[in-house]
Amino acid sequence: MAKSSVLGYPRIGAEREWKKALEAFWSGKLEEAAFQDKLREIRLNHLRKQQEKGIDIIAVNDFSYYDHVLDTAVMFGIVPKRFSYTGGEVPLSVYYGIARGTKEAAASEMTKWFNTNYHYIVPELDGAEPTITENKPLIAYREAKEQLGVEGKPVIVGPLTFLKLSKGYQASETDAWLERFIPLYIQILQELEREGVQWVQIDEPILVTGLDQADLSRLRNIYEAFAAAVPSLNIMLQTYFESVENYKEISELPVKGIGLDFVHGHSGNLASIKELGFPEDKVLGAGVIDGRGIWRASLREKCGLLNELAAIVTNDRLIVQSSCSLLHVPVTVQNEAKLQTELKNALSFADEKLDEIVLLVKAINSGEGSIADDLDTCERALQALKSSDERNRLDIQQAVSAISGQQPQRSLPFAERHVVQQKKWQLPIFPTTTIGSFPQSVEVRKARQSWRKAEWNNEQYADFIREQIDIWIKLQEEIGLDVLVHGEFERTDMVEFFGEKLAGFAFTQYGWVQSYGSRCVKPPIIFGDVAFENAMTVEETKYAQTKTERPVKGMLTGPITIMNWSFVREDIPREQIAYQLAYALRQEVEALEEAGIGMIQVDEPAVREGLPLKEEDQAEYLAWAVKAFRMTTCTVQDTTQIHTHMCYCEFHDMIDSIEAMDADVISIETSRSHGELIHSFEQNTYELGIGLGVYDIHSPRVPRVEEMTNMIDRALRVLDPKLFWINPDCGLKTRGVEETVDSLRNMVKATQIAREKYTLKV
């Protein structure tokens, strides 16, 4: 008989109970014992829900106090020296210090988890002496069994993936580090085996990226060592996000099961199994339900896929599961009372995906007739959305088809634009600015709520926003910034704000997902054709410009970021969605320019997040991503300065594409990995305007002037001072007012030092 499983469940809770507990603990409103009790309650509720839904094999140790990669690091005592850790179980103060920083020590780097919108804390191996501080998977297994009678499946990040995602070692040291880690993994697995654990899920998503022969040899050594040490333990070697590379070699590894993604890696994994078969001594974890998307699965199509697999793998060796952890989707559709019916019926969040998996297992074991009504209901829901007016706007489809057939470009090349822009703006060397947003205080959030609840009318809310703009324009002038922003006080989120003003979008009330740490986002749903309706940002930006003689940047989110930070429709290519967004945003850019705004920032922090994991697919994606940005910005005057902003960007492997975007100024979030980025510029030239973030806004600490001066000096070793801007590394919405002002004052002081030093050289 086939069985059901998922690879992990969302941590945050249907009403973000997890986030609220973390932030209460950090602010001192919740004592540590009460905090631990609250998280235990949330964790057990998640397990209980899966148990009640009928999931056969329930993941444990997928829950985290912040991030699962950080959990793995502290389990092995991988704590940077600057946190003064002396051994033993890592206390929460150190754990959260690594993630968020302290007054004395900077946080560890944070970067994206493969090609998702989730970000993990990068382990720092430099100087580390790995040891087991506690067996987290065993603790989670015991809790589930003792409290709920759940025979859990402990989840562990695999050694090859963990090492590949870490920093602080040379490639030549890879084998030496594996020799340190393998005995520790074995000790953990042996303790699980002695406990009577039946299945352990070892996540190795690195296997869907390109592995060389050395890595394949390491992989075999790892799992042969595990097989020898824990011969009676069933190991599920789990992959996700794409099809595996080197299927033949991986299928021959001495493990009991192999988990494959048949959603995002559908064609590759299915082709491999059909061509090479599947080992008769192994269980197949068939990831047929999308763990990253929010759309209801076509159960008939999934039954067809499972029937194809059943011709190769017998039912007793089949586990039907999600394609990846459900961490990446909201908790439940049931609470969404405001969505239009045809859209709501076509959605499936985490809880609904549990139901889909259980239904598919029933169909396999008892025949499709056993779920005939569910099959019919599903197809009706999907067809209703497909035929909706929102998905069939011929005016938009024809207009986008026309402009996407052209090659978008500015009328002058950058070198010539730079001359006329400098003549217009008369900016000093090293212009200072910010990325766009300023602190969203309790007062700001309360005002927005009052407006949304209709307790305030539109004019009251507009007056409040203008008051905030007045305060922060004055503050920016007092601090000494050169290029100002209006502060974005009217915006909840850099994507949601625009989606609410464009056609083709829908919004949930409770559709939150974790981005990093306690930072949760509520991605919009792009379910129809995207269309511009009215100006979205002109009123506030134009007002701010009347309050100062200094330039105020218009602030937009770019088409690729809106797409990558939304849940998007699946019935048309993502490229076409990007072009629809670009066409709509172009009209906003033109409206800003017409209103007299001569600096416009079109943020694209998420370009790299959409980069395909397969190298052979990356060039095509980058080509149309660049084209979408240029479609948005290419119609402005030569004197209009186009800015953009990017986050967590491994600059060296896409510098050509970033230059091809042809933005006049790009700011890059780099402060947690400044050295690596500087190294990229030592190997590559960059001849457009650029600002490297000189301090980390994700940490509550106020950076010293000397820290920022050092960052500026390092950058100017390889960048042209005439084209260099100075700014924080990201928006300041999540920071407090006092720390924001103090940090910016220090940034301006560091700039003044740099100006005195470099004006003599220029």
- The reply to whether 591 and 713 lie within a common domain is yes
- The reply to whether 163 and 212 lie within a common domain is yes
Residue 194 resides in a domain? yes
pLDDT digits (tens, 9 = 90+) for 173-187: 999 999 999 999 999
User: Per-residue pLDDT for 590 more than 70?
Assistant: yes
- The reply to whether 542 and 578 lie within a common domain is yes
- The reply to whether 641 and 498 lie within a common domain is yes
Residue 111 resides in a domain? yes
The response to whether 456 counts as a known ligand-binding position is: no
Residue 116 resides in a domain? yes
Residue 197 resides in a domain? yes
Please give the Cα distance from 762 to 760 (Å, whole number): 6
In terms of DSSP bridges, do strands 567-568 and 153-157 run parallel, antiparallel, or are they unpaired?
Answer: unpaired
Residue 654 resides in a domain? yes
The response to whether 472 counts as a known ligand-binding position is: no
User: Per-residue pLDDT for 675 more than 70?
Assistant: no
The catalytically annotated residue of 68, 418, 486, 698 is 698
Closest CA to 38 of 16, 61, 5, 58: 16
Q: Which of 386, 403, 421 is the last residue of a domain?
A: 386
Q: Which helix (H) or strand (E) holds 421?
A: helix 414-425
Using only C-alpha atoms, the chain has a radius of gyration, in whole angstroms, of: 26
User: Which residues touch 673 (CB under 8 Å, ≥6 apart)?
Assistant: 109, 111
- The reply to whether 475 and 623 lie within a common domain is yes
CA dihedral sign, ordered 171, 172, 176, 179: positive
The response to whether 389 counts as a known ligand-binding position is: no
pLDDT digits (tens, 9 = 90+) for 293-333: 999 999 999 999 999 999 999 999 999 999 999 999 999 99
Q: Is the pLDDT higher at 51 or at 606?
A: 51
Helical spans, DSSP H, in 277-366:
299-310, 341-344, 350-366
- Tokens 């020296």 correspond to 81
Boundaries of domain holding 595: 413-759
User: Per-residue pLDDT for 655 more than 90?
Assistant: no
Please give the Cα distance from 441 to 734 (Å, whole number): 9
Helical spans, DSSP H, in 277-348:
299-310, 341-344
The response to whether 533 counts as a known ligand-binding position is: no
Please give the Cα distance from 618 to 553 (Å, whole number): 32
What token pair was written down for 181? 């880690």
Q: Which helix (H) or strand (E) holds 706?
A: helix 705-716
Please, which pLDDT band fits residue 714 given cuts at 50, 70 and 90?
Answer: confident
Please, which pLDDT band fits residue 608 given cuts at 50, 70 and 90?
Answer: confident
- The reply to whether 417 and 477 lie within a common domain is yes
- Over residues 710-716, the mean pLDDT reads 88
Chain centroid, CA 593 distance in Å: 32
The response to whether 649 counts as a known ligand-binding position is: no
- The reply to whether 86 and 223 lie within a common domain is yes
Longest dimension (CA), the chain: 82
The response to whether 117 counts as a known ligand-binding position is: yes
Please, which pLDDT band fits residue 573 given cuts at 50, 70 and 90?
Answer: very high
- Three-class SS state of 454: coil
User: Per-residue pLDDT for 366 more than 60?
Assistant: yes
The response to whether 655 counts as a known ligand-binding position is: no
Is 244 in contact with 265 (CB distance < 8 Å)? yes
User: Per-residue pLDDT for 234 more than 90?
Assistant: yes
- The reply to whether 705 and 660 lie within a common domain is yes
Which bin fits 212, alpha (ψ -120 to 50), beta or left (φ > 0)?
A: beta
Please give the Cα distance from 480 to 748 (Å, whole number): 7
Chain centroid, CA 474 distance in Å: 34
pLDDT digits (tens, 9 = 90+) for 633-647: 999 999 999 999 987
- Three-class SS state of 261: strand
Please give the Cα distance from 521 to 565 (Å, whole number): 9
In terms of DSSP bridges, do strands 553-557 and 525-532 run parallel, antiparallel, or are they unpaired?
Answer: unpaired
User: Per-residue pLDDT for 762 more than 70?
Assistant: no
Query: Is 328 annotated in the active site?
Result: no
User: Per-residue pLDDT for 246 more than 60?
Assistant: yes
List the helix and strand counts (H, then E) for the chain: 27, 21
User: Per-residue pLDDT for 349 more than 60?
Assistant: yes
- The reply to whether 450 and 343 lie within a common domain is no
CA dihedral sign, ordered 122, 119, 728, 587: positive
User: Per-residue pLDDT for 673 more than 60?
Assistant: no
Strands (E), 318-401: 318-322
Mean pLDDT score across all residues of the chain: 94
Domains identified in the chain, total number: 2
pLDDT digits (tens, 9 = 90+) for 742-761: 999 999 999 999 999 987 55
Q: How many residues does the chain have?
A: 762
Torsion, Cα of 341, 347, 351, 353 (10° steps): 140
- The reply to whether 200 and 328 lie within a common domain is yes
Is 127 in contact with 169 (CB distance < 8 Å)? no
Residue 726 neighbours by CB distance under 10 Å: 25
- The reply to whether 313 and 434 lie within a common domain is no
pLDDT digits (tens, 9 = 90+) for 615-637: 999 999 999 999 999 999 999 99
With 0.95 as the threshold, say if the pTM is over it.
Answer: no
* CATH at 694: 3.20.20.210
In terms of DSSP bridges, do strands 153-157 and 724-727 run parallel, antiparallel, or are they unpaired?
Answer: unpaired
The response to whether 16 counts as a known ligand-binding position is: yes
Residue 32 resides in a domain? yes
Give bridge partners of residue 199 from the DSSP assignment: 234
Please give the Cα distance from 395 to 472 (Å, whole number): 41
The response to whether 356 counts as a known ligand-binding position is: no
What token pair was written down for 596? 């007299």
pLDDT digits (tens, 9 = 90+) for 494-523: 898 999 999 999 999 999 999 999 999 999
- Over residues 391-420, the mean pLDDT reads 95
For 308, 382, 437, 484, the CA distances from 740, given in Å and listed in that order, are: 57, 47, 11, 15
SS3 track for 172-207 = HHHHHHHHHHHHHHHHHHHHHHHHCCCEEEEECHHH
- The reply to whether 627 and 708 lie within a common domain is yes
Is 4 in contact with 56 (CB distance < 8 Å)? yes
- Tokens 């924001």 correspond to 740
The response to whether 565 counts as a known ligand-binding position is: yes
- Specify the amino acid at residue 371: I
